[in-house]
Structure 1
Amino acid sequence: MQRAPQDVCDRPGPGSAIAEPAELRSHDGILETDLSVHDEKLPDGTTRYCYLTSDGKPSPTLRLKPGDQLVIHFKNDLVDLDTATPAIDRALAGAPICTAKKAANPCESGAMTPISTNLHFHGLTVPPVCHQDDVLKTSIQPDDAPFEYRLRIPDDAPPGLYWYHPHLHGFSKTQVLGGASGAIIIEGIERADPSLAGLPERVLVIRDQDLANPDAQPSKSEPVMSKSQLDSDGDVANSGTGFGKPSKDLSVNFVPVPYPNYPPATLSMKPGERQLWRVLNASAITYLNLTLLVGRAPQQIGIVGLDGVPLQFHGSPSPSVQWVNHIGLPPGSRAEFIVEGPPAGASALLVTRAVDTGPAGENDPNRALLTITASADAGEPQAALPAHAEPLPRPVRPWVGDVAPVRVRMLFFSEQPENPNDPNSPTKFFMTIDGETPKPFDPQSDVPDITVKQGEVEDWIIENRSMELHDFHIHQLHFQLLDWSGIAVNEPFLRDTVNVPYYNGRMLKYPSVRLRMDFRDPNIIGTFVYHCHVLEHEDGGMMGRIRVVPANTASSTTPPNQRTKGEL
């Protein structure tokens, strides 16, 4: 029997008032919940994915304290929405595919099919092993019993915003683009900055999705544009103007903001009220550049945390708040910042300004997201920070920026279009150690590209040798951005995701970032991945495998074939 859309992944209409995700909080040191994943195909051919609790709450926000246990009884309720096309034909070109074996162990199957899935706990420093945060082998099928994820939040976990989403190679983009994502909050950010104590807090999850109106003419408020060009995936190519049809629509807490008129979602705040906004870019491919406008004037927002880590944490010399008038969020990134409600009688508009993704990138133009209306009767957000903040304990390790790296590695992003004269022709994606031959990530291999000892600190230089913006992310740890194409930057704080600028074909050297990589936490021992977080690139092979071995391991930290090529 075919399911009606309202049976599973129901969504609000454009222009709706946003509702915050339901919250599930830990009690007595544990948060235990049932969670299932569903999919459906709409009459227009687009697909939706959603996470639901046993009582039907979509994509709940999971709130835990350091030291708590998270237990999720996870059920795969996906159905094959396209039985007419073989699974191998539906995966991105160049991505190695394997298929499910009957009665396979979910911890070992590595199955990659349209109805396989798993969970990744993005940003958390927890062991990369099955039932915790393994994404290399763990694959759960619809006929499997509920799969238990059981992980402990470290006692010294940075307080801030994290998220969960599927990380199944070859199908991550499809499931995340369909809406499979949710927020995780580790409590205690007011302990890093006592001035935050008592602030109301609001969770905003920005997702992308296929265009609801792909054939619509552009809004008359935009300049006249030439006809949109499509890339190899059928997405709109970067216009380089800040205008034109976007590659994907955006939504705010599932309220869609569709092309071409972008009717914003809405919310009310008390005039001048201060709130802490926790904003997650859960997009599969869309970059954000967020600005809060009153009239046409950008407002100051106070950044207090990035990618789950307070600016002033682990001995960082950063100020606890940095006041800016915009914040860039690549796919997968998060920001936590102080906002003030507009004055009485006024309204504000949260917009994302255009992001130049390069000649081979998608189009991420200017567009509105959220209208904020000042109202004395506005309701409060469902959560507020505690009114009293006990300071965090002193860090047990020196600030990573003060630790000399034991080695420097160079890696690079690259792409291989089928037609070298057409950057938008079908493309293979690579992430390669300098000196090696580019090849797509092989999910069936167990050989690490990089091996590191726990306890070490390294510098990684990530070059971009393609004509498209890329978004570097590594699991299990955070890093400090040291320089941008050879120019030192003043960022004494941590990230887990960072843009790497594109190469325009005329530069004298490839753009790059230099990152101070922190492998000191014992929780990261094991094998995990680093990749571009534009998920069609990740699915297409732009990923590598890293193994962190115990500090007392006697063997070399780098396989013999990498000692001169992977180390500088």
Structure 2
Amino acid sequence: MGERWKSVLWGSVGLVGLLAAGPALAADRAAGTGPLVAPPICSGRDAAVPLGSDKCKRVENEPGSIALTLNGTVSTLNNVGGSNSGGKLTGGYAISTTNYNDVYHPPVMEVDAGNTIYFQLNNLMPTPAAGSPPPTNHTNLHTHGLIVAPRPLGSPEGLGDNIFVDFAPGQNPPQGAQYRINIPKVIPKAVFEPNSAENVAYPTGLNWYHPHIHGVTSPQVGGGMAGLISIGAPKDQLIVEGADGRPDAKATEELRARTGVEYLILREMRLNTATLPENADNAPAVIAPKGFSCTTPAGQVAPGGYCTGADPSQVWLFTVNGQRYPDLTVPSGRNKLWRIANMSANQTFVLQLLDDKGNAQAFDVLTVDGVTAGKPDDKSGRVESVGVTSLLMMPAARAEILVRNDGARTYTAKDLVLASTPVMVTTPATPTTPATTSNLFGNPAIALAAVHIEPAQVAQAAAPRLSLQKPPVLASTTATPKEKAAARTTVASGHNHRHDGHAHGHTAMAAAPVPAQGGASANDGSTIGIGPCFTRPKVGIGLLAGERRQVTFGLASGTLALGAGIVDYKGKVNEQIAVTPFDASNGHVCSPFGASEVWELVNATNFPHNFHMHQVKFRLAKEEDLKKVGVKTGPIVDPTGAMKNVYLPEDGGTVDVWHDTLPLPPSANADGTNPGRVYIVVNFKAVEQIGSFVYHCHILGHEDAGMMAAMEVVNGTPQMKVAQR
């Protein structure tokens, strides 16, 4: 039986507990390469803020909405053009990549809930050479983490977050492929509490946009086709409580005033080059066609933001906002709110703030995957921030952390290193095999940035207690009675129908095309048709009492693949879809609109995966959820103990933390006979969830290899497929 865990900060982000046994990693703090350069920002929230890119426009007659042109291209990125370089910072090298708008970091899109983001996607990548395997240089767009309508190509309301579209080079509607991403102002509280009839404010926090063409997602994202989406004001969640436990408005205002905000976008590239990074100066480099391991000094963090492979021409480059080993400064008497995103296609980071002796310094975690996270305070109704010394960030992870220098924390040194450190797992010896030690996520010990905590000019008093705004599941709705009524009407009127082989849902709204900004051609994109719903005679697509869905991460003839099934209360798998590499035409999982379901995620491989589902937030199942479906373990079954030293169980009251990604512990056996398991709860309660989308491993090389499956949320009668037995 696996270990019992309580619901805490699980997801693509996790709080790291103990790392590998043995001495701490030494981190010599060398001077950085220069102050951190902010990514370009396009704000719909504040019209007074200059737009950070000439590809952005504020939308006329729609205050708060913003439009961005994305020209997908293949070009050489470099550091020419001044300190900002329009986002062209690539660690000092000139590198040819697939990217947007000839930059490594396209703009961060900042909007409030209730506004719209328009993306005009032009595929300007070259037409593939004859004989190139499809879908070379094809592309599309996904808005990761958002609960928004997946409207299909041709919808009168505009193309939504639908990945079943394909734009080949030069294959664009007039003025480009026009995506219209409507951010709801409120969503049904039933998305978080299934029996609620109220609404809650749409969650604030970090999300992102990137391509999602199966087979080439990893190289496109890795080359720079990805940017952040920020919903709401990041500092609004910070609250200072007075002695009576109530918010202190003056102290809260002061805390926010002395807290600066910075984006930290983490990426990496394995390169072939004849020049080391410190001498790069726009030296040419090419992305290595195959991965390679990294050599780092024993017991130390590799300095300078890179390490080398066995071949001296191999350089593994790690960047923050495209910079190699920048300088981060926390001024005296002030704080920094770091909004961190792992936008690497495949690489995991385990973040620590280290001194030169390897002592990890504490920081406060505020949000995980765009949702407030922390310990509940029943007296105030808010949550306490969680102080940690390590933070696990798998691909796609987002987190907001507060590094305090206002008297709330002390540090063992003023010069620190923001590092990514490995998680080492030891397999005990058996009578026939010796003990082995392996790197769970394959991430080297790398110094990412130099951090300077400026000393106080005068003695600082202890800072007041920090608490956070309630997460959506606990928050009272900010919607007006009129908005509540409108949202209820929207859910009631949402409908479902077939279009080019797949379902979608939407609400009535006036079309608002993206302002014309130029397109590649007048050719239409194509729709990727998907197969029928997997259903059962006399039962349909839903679950019976005591049943749960099961998704298996496994291998099919050596190829990464997914399978699905339905498990009854006694644990019997009654129906199933075989473990098969992704094929959109296959039968697939369908859930009825309005359902609340327990999903069992089974990892039958001997390495971790990173589960992601579009259009939803989900949480770990609680004891009462598991009892209803006959599960007698906790929500996480970790047969190898590989995750034992990775996640810190909550030691206090419980709090629901909602995610869009989740790490899965590996199987104890290579043949999958003793798999890792995670149980989650998913609620399909918002009309924006009606339609076709996917779930997959968000280690994008795994997804491209076949570890993805289509699914639908259906409001109506789906196309049928008889269950396999």
Shared fold per TM-score greater than 0.5? yes
Of residues 438, 457, 466, the one that matches 2:596 is 457
SS at match of 1:523: helix
Q: Does 1:142 align with 2:160?
A: no
SS of 2:402 mapped into structure 1: strand
1:35 to 58, 70, 73: 70
Correspondence 1:209 to 2:277: no
Deviation digits for residues 470-512 of structure 1 (CA, Å, limit 9, x no counterpart): 1111111111023211799756211111111122428972111
> How far apart, in 2, do the equivalents of 1:394 and 1:214 lie?
58
Q: d(CA) in 2 for partners of 1:187 and 1:34? A: 22
Q: Does 1:255 align with 2:419?
A: no
Out of 563, 579, 586, which is 1:438 matched to?
Answer: 579
**Alignment correspondent of 1:495:** 659
Q: Is the 8 A contact 1:139 1:168 kept in 2?
A: no
Change (3 A) 1:182 1:355: farther
Tell me, yes or no, if structure 1 residue 301 matches structure 2 residue 366. Answer: no
Of the three residues 290, 302, 310, the one matched with 1:234 is: 290
Contact 2:118 2:178 survives alignment (8 Å): yes
Instruction: Indicate which of 17, 41, 63 corresponds to 1:23.
Output: 41
Q: Choose between structure 1 and 2 for higher RCO, CA contacts under 8 A separated by at least 6 residues.
A: 2
Output one character per residue of 1:385-420: Cα deviation in whole Å (capped at 9) or x when no partner. xxxx999861599xxxxxx99741111111357xxx
Alpha-carbon distance between aligned partners in 2 of 1:181 and 1:472, rounded to the nearest angstrom: 19
Secondary structure of the corresponding residue to residue 438 of structure 1? strand
TM, length-normalised to structure 1: 0.73
Instruction: Compute the displacement of 1:318 (Å).
Output: 8.1
Q: Does 1:290 align with 2:351?
A: yes
1:439 to partner: Cα distance: 1.4
Equivalents in 1 of 2:124, 2:561: separation in Å? 32
Q: Which runs of 5+ in 1 are unaligned?
A: 1-13, 89-96, 98-111, 217-231, 257-263, 378-388, 398-403, 418-426
1:198-218 per-position Cα deviation (integer Å, ceiling 9, x unaligned)? 4321111101222355999xx
Mapped partners of 1:559, 1:313: distance in 2: 45
CA shift, 1:560, in A, is 4.1
Aligned partners of 1:238 and 1:405: how far apart in 2? 51
Is contact 2:664–2:677 with CA below 8 Å preserved after alignment? yes
How far apart, in 1, do the equivalents of 2:708 and 2:414 lie? 47
1:70 and 2:117 aligned: yes
CA distance in 2, matches of 1:541, 1:442: 8
Match for residue 336 of structure 1?
A: 400
User: Residues 355 and 365 of structure 1 are in contact (CA less than 8 Å); yes or no, is this contact kept in structure 2?
Assistant: no
C-alpha deviation, 1:462, in angstroms:
0.8
Q: 2:346 is paired with a residue of what secondary structure?
A: coil
Q: What is residue 552 of structure 2 aligned with on the other side?
A: 412
Matched residues in 1 for 2:680 and 2:582: separation?
22
- Other-structure match for 1:369: 448
Of 37-46 and 270-279, deviating more is 37-46
8 Å contact from structure 1 (residues 158, 308) kept in 2: yes
Tell whether 2:97 aligns with 1:48.
yes
Structure 1 position 309, deviation (Å): 1.3
For residues 133 and 268 of structure 1, do their structure 2 counterparts lie closer, same or farther at Cα, with a shift above 3 Å needed? same
Alpha-carbon distance in 2 for matches of 1:406, 1:137: 36
Identify the match of residue 390 of structure 2 among 326, 347, 350: 326
Cα distance in 2 for partners of 1:278, 1:42 equals 25
**Structure index of larger Rg:** 2
Of residues 476, 482, 490 in structure 2, which corresponds to 1:394? 476
Distance in 2 separating the partners of 1:390 and 1:329: 23
Of 199, 204, 220, which residue of structure 2 is paired with 1:159? 204
For residue 528 of structure 1, report the CA deviation from its aligned partner: 0.1
- Change in CA separation of 1:349 and 1:359 when aligned onto 2, cut-off 3 Å: closer
Aligned to 1:485: 637
Compare 429-438 and 34-43 and name the one that shifted more.
Answer: 34-43
Classify 1:493/1:141 alpha carbon distance in 2 versus 1 (closer, same or farther; 3 Å). Answer: same
Partner residue of 1:428 out of 559, 577, 580 = 559
Matched, 1:129 2:145: no
Contact kept in structure 1, 2:150 and 2:161, CA below 8 Å: yes
1:265 lines up with 2:329 in the alignment: no
Query: d(CA) in 2 for partners of 1:292 and 1:345?
Result: 11
CA root-mean-square deviation: 4.0
**Deviation (angstroms), 1:267:** 2.3
Residue by residue, what CA displacement relative to the aligned partner does 1:80-139 show, whole Å, maximum 9, x if unpaired?
Answer: 5x74x7321xxxxxxxx4xxxxxxxxxxxxxx232x211111000001123221112242
Report the residue type matching 1:207 in the other structure.
R
Change (3 A) 1:214 1:334: farther
Task: Report deviation, 1:162.
Answer: 0.5
Query: What's the offset of the Cα at 1:534?
Result: 0.8
Corresponding residue SS for 1:561: coil
Q: Which amino acid aligns with 2:552?
A: F
In structure 2, the gaps of 5 or more residues are 1-31, 48-62, 79-92, 153-158, 187-201, 241-254, 277-287, 301-306, 310-314, 426-436, 457-467, 485-543, 566-575, 622-634, 640-648
1:520-542 residue CA offsets vs partner (Å, 9 max, x unmatched): 12111000000001111101110
Three-state SS of the structure 1 residue aligned to 2:723 is helix
Note closer, same or farther for the CA distance 1:448–1:335 as it changes in structure 2 (3 Å cut).
farther
TM-score after normalising by structure 2: 0.58
Cα separation, partners in 2 of 1:390 and 1:530, compared to 1, 3 Å: closer
- Quote the Cα distance in structure 1 between the aligned partners of 2:439 and 2:451: 35
- Structure 2 residue aligned with 1:61, among 93, 108, 117? 108
> Contact 2:341–2:397 at 8 Å: present in 1 too?
yes
Name the SS of the counterpart of 1:492 in structure 2: coil
In structure 2, the CA distance between the partners of 1:175 and 1:476, relative to structure 1 (3 Å rule), is same
The residue identity in structure 2 corresponding to 1:141 is: P
